[in-house]
Amino acid sequence: MDNITDVFVEECTKSRYLKPLRLKYKQNGSGKIWDAMKVHDSIAVLLFNKSKESFVFVKQFRPGIIDKDISPAETAKMEIHEECGFDVPLESIEHVTSYRAGVGTTGSKQYLFYAEVTEEMRTGQGGGIVEEGEMIDVIEIPRSEVMTFVMDESINKPVGIMFAVLWYFQNKAN
C-alpha cells in the first residue's frame, strides 16, 4: 500500500457518502438526543484460494460501499473481480450473514459473503480501478497463518475480518 502522509482533519459540510443526523426522541417519557451519521451499506467477502490454501485480503485506504443499483451479491462479484482479479460465478458466492456496523454512530448494514477461488479463475491482477483512484494491495495469507494475522493487534483490520475467519473455521474448515 502507498505511504499515506500529510493527513489532517477538517469539518465536512457536504459529502456524497455521509449525512449527519440528530435523533430526538423520548425514552420512558424523558427527552433524549443522539447524533448519528447516515452512510452507505457495505459488503465484505471472505475469499479462500483453494489452489494456494490461502485467504485473499485487500489493503485499501477506503472502505468498500454499496453505491450502485445492484444486489449485494452482485456487488460482491464485481468487487472480487475488480479488487482481487478472480471471476467468481454469482451462484458460487455464499451469503453468510449481515450485521450492523458502526453501532452507536451509523448503524449501517454490512453483508458478509464467502467464496472459494482457484488460480484457474484468475482473469486479472486485481488492485482496483485505477481510473477511479483506487490503490489496492492484494495479500494472500496461508490458512495455517491466518489466526496469527487475526490476533495480531499491531495490524489494522476491521472486526468483520476476524468474525469471518472464525466463521470459516467453524463452518468450512475440514
Tell me how far apart the alpha carbons of residues 23 and 34 are, in angstroms, rounded to a whole number.
5
Instruction: Evaluate if residue 64 carries a pLDDT over 80.
Output: no
Query: What separation in angstroms does the CA of 1 have from each of 59, 127, 135, 150?
Result: 7, 10, 7, 19
Instruction: Evaluate if residue 50 carries a pLDDT over 70.
Output: yes
Query: What separation in angstroms does the CA of 7 have from each of 23, 46, 64, 101?
Result: 30, 30, 20, 25
**pLDDT value at position 9?**
85
Instruction: Please name which of 116, 112, 43, 124 lies closest in space to residue 81, comparing C-alpha atoms.
Output: 124
- In the chain, count H helices and then E strands: 3, 7
- Render pLDDT for 70-118 as a digit per residue (tens, 0 to 9): 999 999 999 999 999 999 999 999 999 999 888 888 888 999 999 999 9
The residues that bridge with 19 in the sheet, in sequence order, are 38
Supply the pTM of this predicted model.
Answer: 0.86
Instruction: Please name which of 124, 96, 99 lies closest in space to residue 109, comparing C-alpha atoms.
Output: 99
Tell me how far apart the alpha carbons of residues 11 and 33 are, in angstroms, rounded to a whole number.
21
For residues 5-22, average pLDDT: 86
In this structure, the strands spanning 136-142 and 108-117 are unpaired
For residues 119-128, average pLDDT: 92
